[in-house]
Chains A and B, each alone.
Chain A
């Protein structure tokens, strides 16, 4: 079966997601041999950023997020756009810090998999529910779509078809399934959680004890007492010459969801570019 990573990236007025996707692809190649990576985008990809990708795929049908800042509305299309039978979907603002090729063996046991526990930069389990109040109040599965997997087939197709409907009618579904601590914007995590609740498949599509997880850098989950607006302003980052990334004195050994674009300096990209096997 063909396997590969899919990254969906659409620039908005503030953030160059293509640049983030380029860095993510470089980091994937750096630590993982012979991996397929596809970029799904309608933006023009600079020639020098195309190299780490096997395919650059236009967003299917029309751009549903044309007038949106957060560009959530196209996320459900990944299932339809992916050229692989098995796909790991990663959000663009992530970096790979180690070899994750063994994940394929684990994930292949399932039709769908979403991460449901995440870690701090100190590799502690995130226990804060600061960003998850809606999930808790409405008894919804604690899914993180930033890193998920699907195998093409009836199960995943049913899920994504429902996800499409929920994303396109999110206010209606929120009112029905997430009315407590009502969230006034569409998020793919919440939509996926609602889809899972409707399909009653939480136990099939996630495992809180799974080693498939990532480090989430949102400030409120870091077990800090004094919480800054941006984590990048309060802890040091060192991209060492040996290729290891240190955040706040901790070696990063998981997939890093850095969230804040300020983290991704040109220096980091340049180092990734030099170290990436695909370009050597």
Chain B
């Protein structure tokens, strides 16, 4: 059975997800030593700007470029933000496009810092995904807001990183994700989601709920380890090998931060701008 990691990277006018993917792949090679595939609609950008990508990326899957009208606000700390395209509609195609029998899928702003995900390949489960997340910022109010996809709706699962192997059930699951994406306005209303924008976490959560027959069950099991995260109002200041230094949003003090660091963890860094700056430093000598 072939094993590997697939990264989706679809740039908008400002954020270079391809660059993130190259860095993410570098970390995957270091800690997991697995083949990496990038699924992107910006292949020429990859070839032109990151000619060394083959050191880290084994497969390039070209996605059709589609116009995207969906936007969301991306923060860079608490004092700066931009309203940008959010091109996240292809995740449901993973079953069809992955070159592997067993696949870990990651957001490109998810940084691997240890080898714990290798345990995913040792289970007899066909799908693993995080149900709970761990906030690096202990001051952040009301972690509960992430527990459901909305106050009165279903349990939240995090499509940031997940594992699956090709089975009849996972095929149905990803077909269902595609169906939910295609009928997002309907599902948004039925599941009482205030946000208009399509979000993979939501469609995955709804699909899991439907696959479980509108009930809570033990399927799917969680990914190994914790899913650490910082949001985009926190700022990544520096990456030194596996140690990350952050400024974390200070509660009730807009524009003020607490300094914190963490190392050897798998972490989702949602501030794309500060992640981009930190990656630039690391990739300088490539």
Query: How far, in whole Å, are A122 and B215 apart by their CA atoms in the complex?
Result: 8
In the assembled complex, B144 has its CB within 8 A of some CB on chain A: yes
Chain B residues near A253 (CB-CB < 8 A): 215
Q: Among the listed B144, B190, B192, B215, which residue makes an inter-chain contact with A250, where contact means beta carbons less than 8 Å apart?
A: B215
Beyond A224-B152, A236-B190, whether A249 also contacts B216 by CB under 8 A is no
Contact A235 B215 (CB under 8 A): no
Q: Mark B168-192, 1 if CB is under 8 A from A, else 0.
A: 0000000000000000000000111
Least Cβ distance of B221 to chain A in Å?
Answer: 18
Q: A249–B215 contact, CB under 8 A?
A: no
Q: How far is the CA of A224 from the CA of B147 in the complex (A)?
A: 11
- Say whether B215 contacts A225, CB under 8 Å: no
Contacting residues, chain A, for B192 (C-beta < 8 A): 235, 248
Residue-wise, chain A 235-261 has the 8 Å CB interface mask toward B (1 for contact) of 110000000001011110100000000
Q: Decide if A62 is an interface residue (CB 8 Å cutoff).
A: no
- Bound CA span A142–B156, Å: 31
Which residues of A have CB within 8 Å of B144? 225
Given the interface pairs A246-B214, A249-B209, the reply to whether A226 lies near B190 with Cβ below 8 Å is no
Interface residues of B in 189-206 (CB under 8 A from A): 190-192
Question: B151 and A224: CB pair below 8 A?
Answer: yes
How many interface residues does chain A have, given as a range? 10 to 19
The B interface is mostly helix, strand or loop, or mixed, namely: loop
- B139-157 residues at the A interface, CB under 8 angstroms: 144-145, 151-155
Known: A225-B144, A236-B190. A251 touches B214 (CB 8 A): yes
CA distance A124 to B154 in the complex (A): 11
User: CB-defined interface of B260-274 with A at 8 Å, one 1/0 digit per residue?
Assistant: 000000000000000
CA distance A234 to B153 in the complex (A): 11
| Residue B213 CB within 8 A of the other chain | yes
Q: Size class of B's contact patch?
A: 10 to 19
Chain B residue nearest to A124 (CB atoms) is B216
Q: Are A123 and B215 in contact (CB under 8 A)?
A: yes
A249 touching B214 by the CB < 8 A rule? Answer: yes
Q: Mark A217-229, 1 if CB is under 8 A from B, else 0.
A: 0000010111000
| A123 to chain B: closest residue by CB | B216
Select A225's contact among B151, B155, B214, beta carbons within 8 Å. Answer: B151
Inter-chain contact B151/A249, CB cutoff 8 Å: no
Cα distance, A235 to B154, chains bound together (Å)? 12
| Also in contact, A249 and B154, with CB within 8 A (given A225-B144, A236-B190) | yes
- A266 CA / B251 CA spacing, docked (Å): 51
Q: Point out the residues of chain A lying under 8 angstroms from B154, CB to CB.
A: 122, 249-250
- Whether A249 contacts B153 by the Cβ 8 Å rule is yes
CA distance A248 to B214 in the complex (A): 10
Contact partner of B190 among A222, A224, A234, A249, CB < 8 A?
Answer: A249
Bound-complex Cα distance A225 to B145 (A):
9
Q: Chain A residues near B191 (CB, 8 Å)? A: 249
**Which residue on A lies nearest to B213, using beta carbons?**
A251
Bound complex: CA of A224 vs CA of B209, how far in Å? 19
Residues of chain A within 8 A (CB-CB) of B216 are 122-124
A–B complex contacts, Cβ < 8 Å, 11 sampled: A122-B155, A122-B216, A224-B151, A225-B145, A225-B151, A234-B152, A235-B152, A248-B153, A248-B192, A250-B154, A250-B214
Which are the 3 A-B pairs with shortest beta-carbon distances? A251-B214, A251-B215, A225-B151
A residues near B (Cβ < 8 Å) are: 122-124, 222, 224-226, 234-236, 246, 248-251, 253
- Can you add 20 more A-B contacts, CB < 8 Å, to A235-B192, A249-B214? A122-B216, A123-B215, A123-B216, A124-B216, A222-B152, A224-B151, A224-B152, A225-B144, A225-B151, A226-B151, A234-B152, A236-B190, A246-B214, A248-B152, A248-B192, A249-B154, A249-B190, A249-B209, A250-B215, A251-B213
